[in-house]
Amino acid sequence: MSYANSRIPESAQQGIHENLAVRLRRHADFPFRKPFAPYNQTAFATAMRAWDGRVPLVLDAGCGVGHSTIALARAHPDAFVLGVDQSEDRLARRKPYPDALMPKNLLFVRADLVDFWRLLGDAGVRLWRHYVLYPNPWPKIGHLGRRWHAHPVFPALLALGGRLECRTNWRVYAEEFAFALNTLQNTQVTVETFCAQQPLTPFERKYRDSGQTLYRVIWNGEEDDDGTL
């Protein structure tokens, strides 16, 4: 596939999955109790040591090669940014900045988000901003449970609060994400389309340069006292 010829996920599913509502009810009613893997507990402890706990915390969940993590750290010098991904290979790829220019207010963490999100919640951590950028779409109908909003970890992800933003190039994913949020939080977020003037991630750049429509869902889970986030 050439660079600017990326395809929108193809799926037999054209709208919100018919089993999503039932799944969400089940996940809301039954806490997710999968035991934590030791390597995720170690990664979590490292992350908590790196963050001083005093400045706002940003989570770039599924950060891939980490370009968005760096951009977020540069945009928010008074915050601390965690870029979490399960792929050591992606995290280790060369960054578009010389080491000397790398922001100091970030940490890349190799961990499985299924554990990492719950470890954050169990430790009472609240996020300031939370990004889920271009998650794997799992477009096959039978793969619903692999999409984040249909995974049993989703209530724990939402409980971290803050301003949550999910971006995707698959309209159905965005619609389902918004539906799941609205169902579990009794809110009324909508799906927006947007133009990525300055793409935050390599996937965003590739999709934009392929002329695709980009979707996002934003939820202001918790407002600061002055109403800003």
Ligand X SMILES: C[S@@+](CC[C@H](N)C(=O)[O-])C[C@H]1O[C@@H](n2cnc3c(N)ncnc32)[C@H](O)[C@@H]1O
Contact 127, 161 (CB under 8 A): yes
Write out the two tokens for 197.
Answer: 């003037």
Does residue 202 touch ligand X according to CB under 6 A? Answer: yes
Q: Nearest Cα to 132, choosing from 144, 142, 117? A: 117
Cβ at position 123, least distance to ligand X in Å: 18
Pairing of β 191-194 and β 214-220? antiparallel
We find the least distance from the C-beta atom of residue 27 to ligand X, in angstroms, to be 16
Look up residue 145 and give its two tokens: 């449970």
Asked if residue 203 binds ligand X (CB under 6 A), the reply is yes
Could you tell me if 215 and 145 are in contact, meaning their C-beta atoms sit under 8 angstroms apart? no
Binding mask 130-169 for ligand X (x = CB under 6 A): ---xxxx---------------------------------
CB-nearer residue toward ligand X: 21 or 50: 50
Binding-site member from 85, 144, 181, 207 for ligand X (CB under 6 A):
85
Please report how close the Cβ of residue 186 comes to ligand X at its closest, in angstroms: 27
How many helices (H) and strands (E) the chain has is answered by: 8, 7
Q: Please identify which residue in the block is written with the tokens 């934009």.
A: 208
Point out which span in 1-9, 58-66, 178-186, 215-223 binds ligand X (CB under 6 A). Answer: 58-66
Provide, rounded to whole angstroms, the least separation between the CB of residue 54 and ligand X: 26
| Cβ–Cβ < 8 Å for 133, 203 | yes
Applying CB under 6 A, the residues found at the interface with ligand X are 62-64, 84-87, 90, 112-114, 133-136, 201-204
